[in-house]
Structure 1
Amino acid sequence: MKILVVGATGATGRLLVKDLLDRGEKVTVVVRSTEKLSELLNNKNLTVVQAALLDLSDKQMAELVQGCDAVASCLGHNMTFKGMFGKPRRLVADAARRLCTAIETNQPKKPVKYVLMNTSGMRNRDLNERIAPGEKIVVALLSVLLPPYTDNIAAAEFLRTKIGQNNPLIEWTAVRPDSLINEDSVSPYEIHPSPIRSALFNPGKVSRINVARFMAELICDNSTWKQWKGKMPVLYSSEPRADSH
């Protein structure tokens, strides 16, 4: 398979690239700097395009996704003042829109998978997910005060409403991890169609390496893809169970 990963130098993106390369897949990344990928640069299946993604022309974007079986977005905003409030404010959503437009321009013979890393704070309106009144107030404030949160929502909504469930050229899923933590190895994790706890008031945890593994499974395993395409699965690392006596 040929897979494009954007956001490849992020904490989860690097793990996804490594997971895909370990499977023998051909991976292309678009990065401003290769520094954070130094340990992977010698892999013959890795192609590096050094650029700012949104600075690419429409023609360059179409060339970038030409022949790709899947596109994975681990894009996000740096948690600094400039990262949260500076430009580009709609990095994730604009990337999704332009990459999907590029895919459609190429008219691939079979649908291309678009796997978006999102957040458990994003509601899937296809399922009429409900939240408590107090949480609604906080979400409304976040939407006003935190542009990255609004950007994540816009990206997922673009896939849900503009690409939809019946697009002949693009299939998608939006992965919604709960609070992200760092772990050294993959551990058992749970996948749910909707959150089973409050993302704001009672969040669970999931390791970045587990998120990377699930995204790689979506891309590489057809049964996993069929189960979750067009959906917004929520991930939690499984909590250790106390031994029964």
Structure 2
Amino acid sequence: MVQQMTSLVVGASGATGRLLVEQLLDRGQRVKAIVRSPDKLPRTLLDHQHLTVIQAGIAEASDTELAEYVKGCDAVASCLGHNLTLKGIYGQPRRLVTDAIRRLCNAVKSNATERPVKFVLMNTAGNSNRDLVEPVSFHQKCVIGMLRLSVPPHADNEEAADYLRTVIGQTDQAIEWAVVRPDSLTDESAVSEYHAYPSPTRSAIFNAGKTSRINVAHFMADLIVDDDVWTRWKGQMPVIYNAGY
């Protein structure tokens, strides 16, 4: 029998965040969802007895409010991302995800917990895990370097993962983490077969694979709910691909 837990999901109204909320609710879990506009969530989710909707902007919430949001949560999951508009990509806040991760971690630490809180961050296969020696070609390094300088969301993704990797680290008593790295995202209506690897098995720039958003949500839910899956991947940055990619 799966133990009922409470998870806080930020970025819950996004394309993947909505699917993660649904995956968790379908498994009998309790979910707190932070959204700017509740009407972006399907009515079937809004009416669910185990969903608590928090209407707020994560960047505008005070430290006290964040501490209250994470209170009683066994897991925090971030599907935050920048809007793919000129303002979303080049406007403020340029470190939306990194700042949110840092502040949420501080909020977790401000609450005494009996066991470490799981922190699951959705990221990208274009970001390397610098705890490992991952195979990255010279040409890909050049492209990634240009993206880092010219596309703020990419640098934000890198810094957010690095915060968990280097500041929280592997021995924190309050937080355990995993960073999920999908490749090129696709929209599918149902979960399909997929595989997780410690590092990319192909170039995210020159030979990208595909990962459906619903598979990302399914894997993130597995990490939160299934202790065996968590034990396998905690403190790591698994890359996931749809089967056949």
Q: When the two structures are superposed, what TM-score results if normalisation uses the length of structure 1?
A: 0.97
Specify which of 9, 16, 20 is matched with residue 20 of structure 2: 16
Please name the residue that 1:104 is paired with: 109
Aligned with 1:28: secondary structure? strand
Q: CA deviation at 1:36?
A: 1.7
Partner of 2:198: 193
Question: In the alignment, which residue of structure 2 is the partner of 1:51?
Answer: 56
Q: 1:148 aligns with which of 153, 168, 179?
A: 153
Moved over 2 A (4+): none
Give, in whole Å, the separation in 2 of the partners of 1:59 and 1:192. Answer: 38
**Deviations 1:93-135, CA, capped at 9 Å, x for gaps:** 0010000001011121110000000000010011121311111
Instruction: Measure how far apart 1:66 and its partner are.
Output: 0.5
3-state SS of paired residue (2:19): helix
**Structure 2 Cα separation of the partners of residues 36 and 224 of structure 1:** 30
Could you say which residue in structure 1 is the equivalent of 2:227?
Answer: 222
Shift of 1:87: 1.1
Partner of 1:209: 214
Q: Hey, what's the Cα distance between the residues in 2 that align with 1:32 and 1:201?
A: 36
Paired residues for 1:1-245 under 5 Å: 1-39=5-43, 40-239=45-244
Residue type of the partner of 1:220?
Answer: V
Deviations 1:151-177 (A, max 9, x none): 000000000000000001000000000
Distance 2:211 2:194 in 1: 8
Cα deviation digits, residues 24-81 of structure 1 (max 9, x gap):
1110011110122132110010101111112111111111101100000000001110
Once the two structures are TM-superposed, the CA of residue 239 in structure 1 deviates from its matched residue by 1.4
What is the one-letter code of the residue matched to 1:35?
D
Counterpart CA distance in 1 for 2:133 and 2:59 is 33
Structure 1 unmatched ranges of 5 or more: 241-245
Q: Secondary structure at the match of 1:180?
A: strand
With the length of structure 2 as denominator, give the TM-score of the two structures.
0.97
1:198 partner SS: coil
Unmatched 5+ stretches in structure 2: none
The superposition leaves residues 155-205 of structure 1 with CA deviations (integer Å, 9 ceiling, x where unpaired) of 000000000000010000000001000111000001000000000000000
**In structure 2, the residue corresponding to 1:230 is in which secondary structure?**
coil
What amino acid does structure 2 have at the position aligned with 1:189?
A: Y
Question: Partners of 2:26 and 2:92 in 1: how far apart?
Answer: 34
**Number of positions where the alignment pairs a residue of Structure 1 with one of Structure 2:** 240
Q: Which amino acid aligns with 1:139?
A: I
